[in-house]
Structure 1
Amino acid sequence: MFIGYAVLAVLLALALSASAFMTFTRNPAVAGNMTKLGVPEGWLPWLGTAKVAGALGLLAGLAVPVLGAAAAVGLVLYFAGAVVTHLRAKDYELAPALVLTALPAIALVLRIAAS
């Protein structure tokens, strides 16, 4: 189970890091999507920071199980919020947000099972 967690944690950390970078640099695709969803531009640094914290927490979870579990819970909540934001904006392109909600949930199960 630990190897599964490790692989998933590293892949998620890479994806979250790239997403955070695009959020911090206000990539037109990200900024445009956030505007479409009604997310204030002032939230972007906070959202990017949450992604970085989640990525670092997942990686820290390789050595300290409770940090990995906490990061996974935080990421599930973060991306569940993204799903709710899409639904409130009546934007039904939910697949990426749903997948990104499920992956940290799987990481949480693997981290707990590996402990």
Structure 2
Amino acid sequence: MFTAYVAVTVVAAVVTGSAAVTYLIGHDYPRAQLDMKRLPRTWGPRLGLVLAAGSVGLLVGFAVPPLGTLSAAGLVLYFVGAITAHLRVGSRQLVGPAVFLAVCVAALWLSLSR
């Protein structure tokens, strides 16, 4: 079970960290997503920082388990919010946020069952 926890947590940290980088460098895809969801572009760097903090928190959770659990829970809430934002504007492009949510839910579940 510990191996699954480590593998899933590392995958969650990598995918959320890569998403954070795209927001923080101002890549076109996150800008298009913000526009589609009718959110201000000034939110991009802030959302990137939230993702980066969650990603780092997952990794720090190996040394401080409660922090990893809280980070996973925060990322779950983040992606629930992302899906809600998609649904709010009538977007049905839910595969991406659903995959991120599933990975973060798995990381949270494994962290709690550790």
* TM-score normalised by length of structure 2: 0.94
Gaps of 5+ in 1: none
Q: 1:78: Cα distance to partner?
A: 0.2
Query: In 1, distance between residues paired with 2:33 and 2:88?
Result: 14
Correspondence for 1:48: 48
**SS of corresponding position for 2:91:** coil
Q: 1:41: Cα distance to partner?
A: 0.7
Q: Residue 15 of structure 2 aligns to which amino acid in structure 1?
A: A
Q: Residue 96 of structure 1 aligns to which amino acid in structure 2?
A: G
How many equivalent residue pairs? 114
* TM-score normalised by length of structure 1: 0.93
Correspondence for 2:68: 68
* 1:39 pairs with 2:39: yes
Gaps of 5+ in 2: none
Query: In 2, distance between residues paired with 1:33 and 1:109?
Result: 28
**SS of corresponding position for 1:40:** coil
Query: In 2, distance between residues paired with 1:80 and 1:31?
Result: 19
**SS of corresponding position for 2:42:** helix
Which has the larger displacement, 50-59 or 16-25?
Answer: 16-25
